Structure 1
Amino acid sequence: MSEDHARHAVKMAKKKAARDKIMSTKTGEKGLIIVHTGKGKGKSSAAFGMIFRCIAHDMQCAVVQFIKGGMDCGERNLITEHFADVCDFHTMGEGFTWETQDKARDIEMAQAAWAKAKELIRDENNRMVLLDEINIAMRYDYVDVNEVVAFLQAEKPPLTHVVLTGRNAKEELIEAADLVTEMELIKHPFRSGVKAQIGVEF
C-alpha cells in the first residue's frame, strides 16, 4: 500500500469512528413535519421520491394535491394505476389561482383539500402524507397556517410523517417543522424560452 493510500485509510478510519460515535446517540424515532420550499425546481419531485420509498417498503401513504389538479402528472398516473392499494391519491385543486381566476372557488377547493388532508393524517395506518403545494394555499390565506400548525402539533399521530410542499412557506410552518429544505433557483430553462418538459416537470 502506498504512503498516500495508507494516510487515506487512517483518515477514513478516524472519520468512521467519529461518525459511529455520533450515530450511536441517534436512537429516537418520530413522525416528522417536513417542508420543501423555495423558488427552485424539485420540491414536489423530492417529496414524491419519499412517497415512492414508502411504497417500496409497503408502507401505507397518501397524497393530497392542493393546486395541480388541472395538470397531467406522471406521479399521479403511476400511483393510481399501479400502487393505489398502498397510496391513497387525492387531486383536489383545479389549477393555479391565476388560471382559475375564481377566488371563492379556489378557497372552497383548498378547504376541501385541507379537510381530506386532516382525515388522512388522523389515520394512523398512513405512515406518510404528502400535502403537495399546500404552501401556495397558505400563502394566499386560502388555508390558515396557524390552523395547519396547530393541527399537526395536536393531532398528527406520533409516527406519521407529513410533507408540505410549495413556494413561500410561512415562518410559522418553518418554525414548527422538523426538516426544512429550501430549493434555490440558480438556472432554469423556462427563462430561455423552453416550456415545461414531460418527464422533467410533470
Structure 2
Amino acid sequence: MSDDTRTDADKARRHKASMQKQKARVDAAVEAADNERGVVILLTGNGKGKSSSAFGMVMRALGYGHSVGVVQFIKGVQLSGEEIYLRDHCPTVDFHQMGTGFTWNTQDRDSDIAAAEATWAKVEPMLADPGKDLVILDEITYMIGYKYLDEAKVLDAIANRPVEQSVIVTGRGGGSALRELADTVSEVKDIKHAFKAGIKARKGVDY
C-alpha cells in the first residue's frame, strides 16, 4: 500500500469515527427532546430576511395541511409577492394586514395606535383558536417598541395560546420580555445590503 493510499484510508477512518460520534450526540439530543408542544420563535435583528423566513415556515406548515394565520403589522400599502401568492393560491390562510405602511410614512401616532389595535383584534381570536396550528405576527415588535400595543397584553396572549399552537414573531427589537418568552430566538445581522449601494428593491426578491 502506498503512502497516499494509507493516508486516504486513515482520513476515511477518522472521518467515519468523527461522524459516528456526531450521530451519537444528535441521536441523544433527539431522544432527550420529549416535550411535544408548540413553540414561539422570534426572528429579530437589523438584517434582511426575517419576514422571508417566517413565510418559509408558512409554506412548510401548509405542506402538512396545517391551519395558518398571518397578520402583518407595518406592511400592507405596497403589494408584495407573499400577499399575491397567499390570496391567489392559499385561500385557507387567515391573512390580515394593518395596511398603513411604515410608521415614518403615516406620521400620525393616534392613527397608528388605532390601526394597531384594530389589527390586534384580528390576532386575538387566532391565539385563542386550538385549531390554528401556526400564527405569524409579522413586524409586531414595532408595535410593542412604539407602545402602540400594550406589551403585557400581547405577551400574555402568546403565552396562553393553545398548547399545540406555534407562533412566529418578526421584527427588530421587541424587548427582553419577548426574548425571554420565546423558545427560539434567531438574530439576522446586517452585513451588506444592495440598497445601500443604490440598487433598487427587486420584485420577487425584496417584495
- TM-score normalised per structure 1: 0.94
Code of the residue aligned with 1:127 in structure 2: it is D
Q: CA deviation at 1:42?
A: 0.6
Code of the residue aligned with 2:23 in structure 1: it is K
- Cα deviations by residue, 1:17-45 (Å, 9 ceiling, x for unpaired): 22212211111111111111110001100
Residue matched to 2:130:
124
3-state SS in 1 of match to 2:76: helix
Query: Of the two, which has the highest radius of gyration?
Result: 2
Matched, 1:104 2:110: yes
Residue matched to 2:36:
29
- Cα deviations by residue, 1:151-192 (Å, 9 ceiling, x for unpaired): 2223x0001011111112211111111111111111111111
2:26 aligns with one of 19, 28, 33: 19
Residue matched to 1:49:
56
Residue matched to 1:163:
168
Code of the residue aligned with 1:146 in structure 2: it is A
1:153 aligns with one of 154, 159, 179: 159
Q: Which runs of 4+ in 1 moved over 2 A?
A: none
3-state SS in 2 of match to 1:112: helix
* Inter-partner Cα distance in structure 2 for 1:129 and 1:151: 12
3-state SS in 1 of match to 2:174: coil
Q: CA deviation at 1:67?
A: 1.0
* Inter-partner Cα distance in structure 1 for 2:177 and 2:17: 46
* Inter-partner Cα distance in structure 2 for 1:133 and 1:111: 14
3-state SS in 2 of match to 1:69: coil
Q: CA deviation at 1:48?
A: 0.6
Q: CA deviation at 1:93?
A: 3.0
Can you give the 5+ residue segments of structure 2 that lack an aligned partner in the other structure?
A: 1-7
Q: CA deviation at 1:3?
A: 2.2
Q: In the alignment, is the contact (CA less than 8 A) between 2:127 and 2:157 conserved in 1?
A: no
Can you give the 5+ residue segments of structure 1 that lack an aligned partner in the other structure?
A: none
Greater shift, 67-76 or 2-11, is seen at 2-11
- TM-score normalised per structure 2: 0.92
* Inter-partner Cα distance in structure 1 for 2:72 and 2:14: 52
Cα root mean square deviation, aligned? 1.3
Q: In the alignment, is the contact (CA less than 8 A) between 1:43 and 1:166 conserved in 2?
A: yes
* Inter-partner Cα distance in structure 2 for 1:95 and 1:22: 43
* Inter-partner Cα distance in structure 2 for 1:64 and 1:38: 20
Code of the residue aligned with 1:40 in structure 2: it is G
2:15 aligns with one of 8, 14, 20: 8
* Inter-partner Cα distance in structure 2 for 1:48 and 1:84: 15
Identical-pair percentage: 41
* Inter-partner Cα distance in structure 2 for 1:169 and 1:40: 15
